[in-house]
Structure 1
């Protein structure tokens, strides 16, 4: 078992986002809306192949995440599950843009 040190994770995420911004990507167009995801009840059960996929919505995820900025009552840990697909999308798009420069 390993521990996730939240402060270190935050530092790494900030460094990575700073890198994307410093490389000229202050904004990334959200050109895809939907994505596949494994249902939460099956996600970590590696002894069984998932029986069904769910559909995530990046537009909805972004709406939920941005609500945190407008109302602090919307700050709940579960919102991190909506941040994760957005970060993955940003990483995928930014890495494609920045690949010619080494990432």
Structure 2
């Protein structure tokens, strides 16, 4: 893998993301109801280490409603998006992607 293989162009990511959301919206409409709420959360150290099996004690539960509520609250209040905002967005996107399959 070359050095540039892990360089992410935010402009390209934004375009791909917008296309994906447009496609989903065309297929399902303006809203998506998610059937699940809780999910397994794996610590970053284990998440990106394919050679180690996470210790079950490292696993925690995340909750989509909590992630979504945090995003909605920040948006409604005009709050500055914090460093964890992308993680909350990723959790919601993961569920949307699984649902759309």
TM-score bracket, shorter-length normalisation: 0.7 to 0.9
- Asked if 1:11 corresponds to 2:15, the answer is yes
Which runs of 5 or more structure 1 residues have no equivalent in the other structure?
96-103
Query: Are the aligned partners of 2:74 and 2:80 in contact in 1 as well (CA < 8 Å)?
Result: yes
Shift in CA distance, 93/25, structure 1 to aligned 2, threshold 3 Å: farther
Q: TM-score, normalised by structure 2?
A: 0.81
Q: State the Cα distance separating 1:49 from its structure 2 match.
A: 1.5
Alignment-derived partner of residue 93 in structure 1: 99
- Asked if 1:55 corresponds to 2:61, the answer is yes
CA RMSD of aligned residues (A): 1.6
Distance 2:47 2:28 in 1: 35
Q: TM-score, normalised by structure 1?
A: 0.80
SS of 2:28's partner is coil
Equivalent residue in structure 2 for 1:27, among 18, 24, 31: 31
Which runs of 5 or more structure 2 residues have no equivalent in the other structure?
none
Q: State the Cα distance separating 1:84 from its structure 2 match.
A: 0.6
SS of 1:26's partner is coil
Q: State the Cα distance separating 1:20 from its structure 2 match.
A: 0.8
Alignment-derived partner of residue 88 in structure 2: 82
